[in-house]
A and B are shown apart, each in its own frame.
Chain A
Amino acid sequence: MVERQSPLEPDFHVGSHGNFEHGVEVILTETRPDSIVQLAAWPGEEKMLIAAIRTVTGLALPDGAGAGVSDGVKSAFGFAPGKFIVAGEAEGLADAFAKVVTPVIGTVTDISHGRTAIRIAGPKAEWVLSKFFAIDFALTAFAVGAGRSTVHHDIFAQIQRTGTDQFDIYVFRSFARSVWKALCRASEEVGYDVQ
């Protein structure tokens, strides 16, 4: 496979940064899934699409707005009515879905090259994200596996909680470096590691 260049590269500096003398409270990294696929069901076909996600990935996506699931390798979550994002480490997820999601069920869009996935983890991850997005990041309001669609100013972000203190943020690739730099700046005061 062709090695994909990260848009974060010029500003991706592995190591500890900011006010880390008292401990690192945030870890920033890029998850670099080889496949990111957007799926949309025609009205009334949502359950068929959820079944297709299970067939292709083995993930049992819970039904409901913004519901999601992650097994550490593959992730899926709803981000709009009848619309889902599925990400995985293996290439070719879109091709696999194209065989299962028939035109009667809905559509498959390969956005692997169009999105960058930034992961923020650690005890202060919620606190840093709260500087950016006007949504409730508390575990009681935002369950593990669930997804949210929101914006930071005009930059679209789809966020999945992949752990009690871990979030994966999907942003347009062309905005990713700017979001990355902003996340680094916002994490300075609590001390952060880039891994």
Chain B
Amino acid sequence: MLITCPYCGPRDVIEFTYQGDGNRARPEPASQNFEAWNAYVYDRLNPAGDHNEIWQHSGGCRAHLRVVRNTLTHEISSVTFVRGHHGSASRPEAEDRS
């Protein structure tokens, strides 16, 4: 499986670390809403299809990435930075897009 890092270009999955389900909404740290905490810790959509995931390019630029991966085909339809990088120093070189 290849993941196309927005900074580094296409890289083998061995360079990436899965950081979990990208659909989770973490309650406020002081929240005592046990339902919300329970949902954050345990509830997963587990879709057969497109899935929002967080990956880190831990063996590369180390950026955290929001990835949409199809759980049936492993096809990846979208990879973006979790945190916006507005500067042009984060745009891939044209040559990396081949």
* Residues of A that sit less than 8 Å from B by CB: 41, 43-47, 49-50, 63-67, 78-84, 134-135, 140-143, 146, 148-151, 154, 156
Contacts and interface: CB of A to CB of B under 8 A. Distances in A.
B24 interface: no
Contacts of B11: 134-135, 150
Interface in B55-91: 59-63, 81, 83-91
B62 A80 contact: yes
Nearest to B12: A134
A151 B92 contact: no
Contact of B89 (A63, A142, A151): A63
Contact of A64 (B14, B62, B83, B89): B89
Contacts of A83: 61
Contact of A46 (B59, B63, B87, B93): B87
Given A47-B87, A78-B89, A134-B11, A156 B59 contact: yes
B95 interface: yes
B7 interface: yes
Contacts of B95: 140-143
